[in-house]
Structure 1
Amino acid sequence: MIRTALAAATLLFAAPAAAQSQQEALDARYDRALAAGYKALMLCGAIANAERIGQDRSPEHVAQWELTGIQAPLNSIVNGLPHSIRVNASGVIDYVAVDWAEDSPARFARYRGEAGCALMPMGMQPSVTGHELPRYRDAVMANWHTKVRTPVRSELLAAMGDRYGKGSRTTSVIVYRADDVVDEVSADGFGPFVPQRTWSVAKSLAATLVGMAVHRGEAEVTASAGLGESADDPRRAITVDHLLRMASGRYSDTPGNRTDPLYFGGATVGESAAHWPLIHSPGSVFRYANNDTLMASAAISASFERYPVAEQLRLIGMTGTTAEADWQGGYVLSSQVWATPLDLVRFGQLYLNDGKLPDGTRILPEGWVQYVSTPSGPQPQGEFGYGAGFWLMNKSDGIPPDTFAAFGNRGQYVVIVPSRNVVIVRRGEDPVGSGFDIAAFTRGVLAALN
């Protein structure tokens, strides 16, 4: 009896330990697969989207910036994974492949022109297209010249160093006021015409596309976003407005809702973002979540056939911007957009102009600027408030209370100050653990402009 009891006890302790060990091995393998997906997508997006608009990025430059200082545990894996880039006979990238396991196929990111790069599901290889794609060059590029001795130059140079964030890595800063670029400074290999991934600045672009659909009469922010499995599913009560304000009430598994399976695993928007359960009444709790923006843009996706996203971006003047989609065509408008600093200035200019293009054509509804920049319902804790797809700087000392902004991971910022007719763009590749004080930088730039 004693021996039986001891044996049973040994099995009880051994089983959880074995299960834990198996799970650790599984997680380690998954991390390698995600790291390979991250590397494939970043190399493809950085190089191919730049080449499309006449700019050059090398794998070494991408490794130095986009693939350095990233989230754990991918940071310790990604640069040790070998990659290859397939270029077709027309000199256009077909795909980037990254090896990650001897017993599994490489991870592939396929380039598709205006739709950018799409990460294939684990185990899937892309077809070879042999495409010839037109290249776009910004009309301003030919006449661009670097400003000298401007009022804000010292602030821009300070942003390139550590004054506004120890360990931060600024790639480009550009200031616009009253229909002209005041000044711009960039790190080597970057500049006003070199696209970088916007990360969550894309959420503000998504809100803008929603606004354009509202102006055309194809959407209403108070309408149901169509979530849920049937008409009596409580998720049908979630409106587009709830989604834009991060107030859907749905569960998400991590703060900030990492969505790694979509971003780096090759899952689709529908698989990863549509089916999360409701745990709060819609409109009652603020919970920053990629899934909400993804579903807000999905709610207007039927209009993309008539008004393609690339054409809408070009209408704004964002000719160097690429909105990427998953491998099934679902736009990843919570993060996966590549845009140049000058394009983001033009994006901010649209809001300075109350939703009208420089020629006076209105493409956003009257009152849309006030809508996206006004808090309504639950608010996040901390220094910044939240409107509808935009952060609010109305609580920041020394900054005009009408200031609102698009914020993105790794230090992407587009600050819009209507009362001063100013747009401030800061691009970065800040390592995890560092940060950039955008409020202090905004105060510095505005003071210098006086």
Structure 2
Amino acid sequence: MKRQRLWFFSVLLALSFGGCTAVRPDYAARVATGTTAHDLCSETFVSGQAPDTIFAETIASRPGLDLVAPLIRYKVDRSQREVSASLAGAFTSRAVYRGTWGCTIIDDDDAASLESPQLLPPIPRVSLPLALDTSSTLSRALDDEFAEEPSTAPRRTKAVVVLYKGSLIAERYAPGYGPDTPILGFSISKSVTNALVGVLVREGKLSVDTPVQLDNGSNEAIPLSDFMRMTSGLDIDETGSGFDPSNRVMYVQTRDMAAAARRARVIAAPGQRWAYSSASVHLVARMVRDAVGGDAVDVQRFAHDALFAPLGMRHATMEMDATGTPIGAHYMLASARDWGRFGELYLNDGVTPNGQRILPEDWVRWSTTPTLATNYGAGWWTNRHSGTGDGHPDGMPLMPDAPADTFYALGNLGQYIIVVPSKQLVIVRLGNAQTPHFDIDGADRLVKQVIGALPGPSS
């Protein structure tokens, strides 16, 4: 079977080299090499993980990429602080590590023009209140979360943090990970982009009704909210196939992702059609960058001063494309405790632990109100559907054992920030799962077990 897969892909490569543009397998090839180069760069130089382990756990075993993994060759150059990856010796992608700004995919023309990172003031260490629970019930919940079942796909849990009423009541880490390890958030980065927009809305510098100008010849301008809710109507859907428009924006048209998304054709009226799309959030991130000054230094300083520092997120890294636009859909890293602090911001309606409001009143409600017939809000998933719209509900499966008011940030391979307002609870789960629907069954079980372990009448 594997030989057949390799033969099939070799035929596709031949079609590409032969000039066939109907299939465009070079898009899928670039997605494979771009994903490999960027992910390995981030997790090697920012997270401090072993590249061979990361490749095996997150690339070679990921559905779709597993088909071409035997053809992928990668090189980690620690002296130059970069990672390159190719497919059958072609379609090379290159990602460079830029210190506090993380990694960026570049081509040779970008290398000389990239801005140099500027150091920002260190964020003071503010300890989380501790109320560690050593009960056997909670310990079993963590045991189950880190356990592997031979009969199922691997879950590879790397970190779990549980915050109850603002206090850290439980945490556990896999070998090689700890409280200070920055971990790639994948699409939980979208929730951070939502927060950056929220700060700007509160400051009066941006509105969810702000029109986003397109560059596709349509002369249309679509409200920012439609990109946040993934209802823009543009042809930028994400399927994970390697051929889809959203992945093409992220790994083929890498230099200026927002500009590539602006050129997408209109296929539906704004607000009428929902389709998951990371490319939508690249446009949102560009709006953030432009609203705070327009370059990499400005946007990094803004995220540091307006969000990371007030929350005490000392290990947050926000990666960018070559234009200085955050890759706000996918490439933010932070420690499990940092992700927990971020979840607390939304549990507390946009107010920091010291009482500072940084998100507008009602922002959390708006962000966690389901869109059309889905259970997706704006950068956050909900544990309920809106009940509106035609056809069957779309989005993620619900968690039957979690309260209906639960909402969560979700990233590829099972990254979760789960917020349960009725229980004053935030649960962070990070890992490299290959189980269905990003291991949502495991997340549901973890929520149920943690709630069952809570003390007193609050449980």
Q: TM-score range by the shorter chain?
A: 0.7 to 0.9
**Shift in Å at residue 176 of structure 1?**
0.6
Q: Alpha carbons of 1:356 and 1:165: their partners in 2 closer, same or farther (altered >3 Å)? A: farther
Q: Which of the residues 270, 288, 298 maps onto 2:276?
A: 288
Which of 388, 395, 407 is matched with 2:378 structurally? 388
Residues 1:46 and 2:31 are matched in the alignment: no
Number of residue pairs matched? Answer: 412
| Residue in structure 2 matching 1:300, options 279, 288, 292 | 288
User: Does the alignment pair 1:441 with 2:427?
Assistant: no
Match of 2:359 in 1: 364
Shift in Å, 1:258: 6.2
Q: In the alignment, which residue of structure 1 is the partner of 2:387? A: none
Note if 1:251 corresponds to 2:235: yes
Is the 8 Å Cα contact of residues 404 and 417 (structure 1) preserved in structure 2?
Answer: yes
2:413 pairs with one of 392, 410, 414: 410
Retained in 2: the 8 A contact 1:69–1:430?
Answer: no
Match of 1:327 in 2: 322
Between the aligned partners of 2:140 and 2:451, the Cα distance in structure 1 is 12
Alignment of 1:253-292 (within 5 A): 254-255=238-239, 259-265=246-252, 266-292=254-280
TM-score, normalised relative to structure 1: 0.80
SS in 1 for 2:427: strand
1:379 to 373, 376, 380: 373
Q: 1:170 to 1:138 in 2, by over 3 A?
A: farther
The offset of 1:102, in angstroms, is 5.4
1:32: how far off?
5.0
Q: Which residue of 1 aligns with 2:335?
A: 340
Deviation at 1:77, TM superposition (A): 2.8
Structure-2 change in CA distance of 1:32 and 1:295 (3 Å): closer
Cα distance between partner residues in 2 of 1:95 and 1:244: 32
Tell me what 2:390 maps to. Answer: none
In structure 2, what is the Cα distance between the partners aligned to 1:342 and 1:255? 31
Contact persistence 1:345–1:423 (CA under 8 A): yes
Alignment match, 1:9 = none
Give the one of 162, 181, 189 matched to 2:176: 189
For 1:45, the aligned partner's letter is S
DSSP 3-state at the match of 2:186: coil
Compared with structure 1, are the counterparts of its residues 398 and 107 closer, same or farther at alpha carbon in structure 2 (3 Å cutoff)? closer
State the 1:360 CA deviation: 0.8
Distance 1:166 1:282 in 2: 38
Q: Distance in 2 between matches of 1:293 and 1:322?
A: 17
38, 53, 58: which one aligns with 2:50: 58
**Greater gyration radius:** 1
Matching residue's letter, 1:77 = A
Among the aligned pairs, what percent are the same residue? 26
Gaps (5+ residues) in structure 2?
A: 1-10, 19-23, 385-397
Distance 1:303 1:150, change over 3 A: farther
Between the aligned partners of 2:131 and 2:72, the Cα distance in structure 1 is: 39
Amino acid at match of 1:247: T
Cα 1:328–1:24 change in 2 (3 A) is same
Which residue of 1 is the match for residue 432 of structure 2? 429
Q: Distance in 1 between matches of 2:128 and 2:77?
A: 30
Q: Is the 8 A contact 1:71 1:432 kept in 2?
A: no
* Residues in 2 aligned to 1:142 and 1:405: alpha-carbon distance in whole angstroms: 21
Whole-angstrom CA distance in 2 between matches of 1:46 and 1:299: 27
Summarize deviations over 1:283-339 as a string: whole Å, max 9, x none. Answer: 112111112222222222223335532333233322211111112222110111112
Q: Displacement of 1:250 after TM fit? A: 1.6
The one-letter amino acid of 2:223's match is: T
Asked if structure 2 preserves the Cα contact closer than 8 Å seen for 1:157 and 1:185, the reply is: no
Shift of 1:418: 1.4
Q: In the alignment, what sits opposite 1:227? A: 214
Structure 1, unaligned stretches of length 5 or more?
Answer: 1-18, 51-55, 88-92
* AA aligned opposite 1:188: P
Find 1:400's aligned residue among 398, 403, 406. 403
